[in-house]
Amino acid sequence: MDLIYSNKTERQVLWQLFCDILQHASCDLSEKLNRAALPHVLRPTLSTSEIKQLNHPYFLALIKKHRIVNVFYNTVTQMISPATSGLALEYLKPMKVASLKNSRQYLLQKACLLRVEKIFKTHFIEYIVMKGVALQEQLFGRDAARSMKDIDIIIDQPQFLTVHQLLLGHGFVCKMGDVSALSPKKIRAMVKIKKDLTYIEPRSGVFVELHWRVQLNSLIDFSGYFGQRTQQVVYSLSDVDNFIYLMSHAGQHSWFRLKWLLDLALFVQQVDFDWYAVTQVVIEKRLVRPFFELKLLLQQFFSIEIPSIPINSIDRFICRCRLRWGPVAWQHPICMVRTGFVGRAIAYFGVLFDMHAFGFKPMIQYVRVRVLNELFHRKYKLE
């Protein structure tokens, strides 16, 4: 079923290799990822020559980019024949180093999140953790299998300045500086135009993104949401809202990381969704295109079936075009230019292409917000 790509890209090669590995064992996806739970006879084996044939620097760069280092390393090491494990593991040393580094980063992020959680609870701050540690523990348990760049926390907008001052008071550094020192007019403009601020914990180097809204704010209604939080390690989104957010986030970025699809593949396997209710939310939030794309990707790469949803021929055509050309537009070298107004405008073109997944109105909204954001930074000379 070659629905997705007209030619092979590095992402397709990596996905196909990863999915070939998963398809060797005749068991459910969640068990395939937990190789330690499999009887040895069900585990496929990799010879030293097969491992030696890999272009290790390039392959390591790919799994880092797709943020599946730990999952892939754990899977591959369980497939190595015991007779040749010593020599084979020598070739996998760089991957092991990257896996250990990723595990250390996960522990630092977890410690940082628990510290932030303590600060918020002490001062009665309402918050929700999106993705990150909460999702990691739900999907993979306590093993550090999921790579995470930062900690995403959403708060109630009226509490923004209070939270900002609390974090600064506890040693966090805001990349924009102390925004509470700005005039009320500038603060109102910033809160209206921007959606988040980034903080750094100097001791660990962990990044914390403080959101007061998400990119497409209509996806999740956060008003009154804090009373129904799902408590795991920390407060997080409900399963349905988590699914909607993960799907829309991946679709918005043209599915260019394997990690996002892997998260969703595990999610639909582990959670007993009421799919009728989910599809009603998808239709209501106008997420038919990302849902259809997810259905195609899960079918092709993981042989996972999710319910169909009514979709017209135009939307179907747009989805296939996005899956075919979206990664090219997003990852083109020109789109990585981030300096200056023109450079940022070029970079946003790739994102604009991805926003077409959500329809014309969100595209216009996205352009408006981005232009206002750039003008705000230029006017007040903020980085």
Whether 149 and 94 map to the same domain: the answer is: no
Whether 143 and 165 map to the same domain: the answer is: yes
Contact in structure between 366 and 355 (CB atoms under 8 Å): yes
Whether 216 and 281 map to the same domain: the answer is: yes
| Beta carbons within 8 Å of 281's beta carbon, 6+ residues apart | 240, 244, 287
pLDDT tens, 193-207? 777 888 988 888 888
Has residue 92 been placed in a domain?
yes
Has residue 342 been placed in a domain?
no
Contact in structure between 75 and 92 (CB atoms under 8 Å): no
Has residue 75 been placed in a domain?
yes
pLDDT tens, 178-192? 887 777 877 777 777
Q: Which of 26-35, 114-123, 133-142, 348-357 has the lowest mean pLDDT?
A: 26-35
Whether 113 and 261 map to the same domain: the answer is: yes
Q: Strand 151-155 to strand 206-211: parallel, antiparallel, or no bridges (unpaired)?
A: parallel
Whether 34 and 170 map to the same domain: the answer is: no
Structural domain harbouring 61: 10-103
pLDDT of residue 160: 83
Whether 131 and 93 map to the same domain: the answer is: no
Q: Percent of the chain beyond pLDDT 90?
A: 0
pLDDT of residue 318: 78
The 3-state secondary structure of the chain, one letter per residue: CCCCCCCCCHHHHHHHHHHHHHHCCCCCHHHHHCHHHCCHHHCCCECHHHHHCCCHHHHHHHHHHCCCHHHHHHHHHHCECHHHHHHHHHHCHHHHHHHHHHHHHHHHHHHHHHHHHHHHHHCCCCEEEECHHHHHHHHHCCCCCCCCCCEEEEECHHHHHHHHHHHHHCCCEECCCCHHHCCHHHHHHHHHHCCEEEEEECCCCEEEEEECCCCCCCCCCCCCHHHHCEECCCEECCHHHHHHHHHHHHHHCCCCCHHHHHHHHHHHHHCCCCHHHHHHHHHHCCCHHHHHHHHHHHHHHHCCCCCCCCCCHHHHHHHHHHHHHHHHHHHCHHHHCCCHHHHHHHHHHHHHHHHHHHCHHHHHHHHHHHHHHHHHHHHHCCC
- Amino acid identity for residue 164 in this structure: H
* The CA-based dihedral angle spanning residues 271, 276, 277, 282, taken in that order and rounded to the nearest 10 degrees: 100
Confidence of residue 328 (pLDDT cuts 50, 70, 90): very low
d(CA 216, CA 225): 16
Has residue 347 been placed in a domain?
no
Higher pLDDT, 169 or 84: 169
For 142, the token pair is 């306590």
Has residue 1 been placed in a domain?
no
Domain termination residue (choose one: 301, 327, 353): 327
Number of domains comprising the chain: 2
Mean pLDDT for the chain? 68
For 144, the token pair is 């550090």
Whether 322 and 220 map to the same domain: the answer is: yes
d(CA 349, CA 371): 12
pLDDT tens, 83-116? 555 656 666 777 788 888 878 888 888 888 888 8
Domain termination residue (choose one: 103, 138, 163): 103
Whether 84 and 184 map to the same domain: the answer is: no
CATH number of the domain bearing residue 195: 3.30.460.40
Whether 24 and 128 map to the same domain: the answer is: no
Has residue 338 been placed in a domain?
no
Has residue 66 been placed in a domain?
yes
Higher pLDDT, 9 or 292: 292
Contact in structure between 200 and 116 (CB atoms under 8 Å): no
Q: Which of 69-73, 149-153, 172-176 has the lowest mean pLDDT?
A: 69-73
Whether 299 and 247 map to the same domain: the answer is: yes
Has residue 45 been placed in a domain?
yes
The mean pLDDT of 151-166, rounded to a whole number, is 84
Residue 117 has pLDDT above 80, yes or no: yes
Domain termination residue (choose one: 308, 327, 346): 327
pLDDT tens, 17-65? 555 444 433 334 344 334 333 333 333 455 556 666 666 676 777 777 7
Contact in structure between 307 and 279 (CB atoms under 8 Å): yes
Half-sphere exposure of 367 (CA within 13 A, CB side): 10
Higher pLDDT, 311 or 214: 311
Confidence of residue 333 (pLDDT cuts 50, 70, 90): very low
In 3D space, the residue among 49, 101, 53 whose CA is nearest the CA of residue 73 turns out to be 101
Whether 92 and 141 map to the same domain: the answer is: no
Whether 85 and 148 map to the same domain: the answer is: no
pLDDT of residue 271: 84
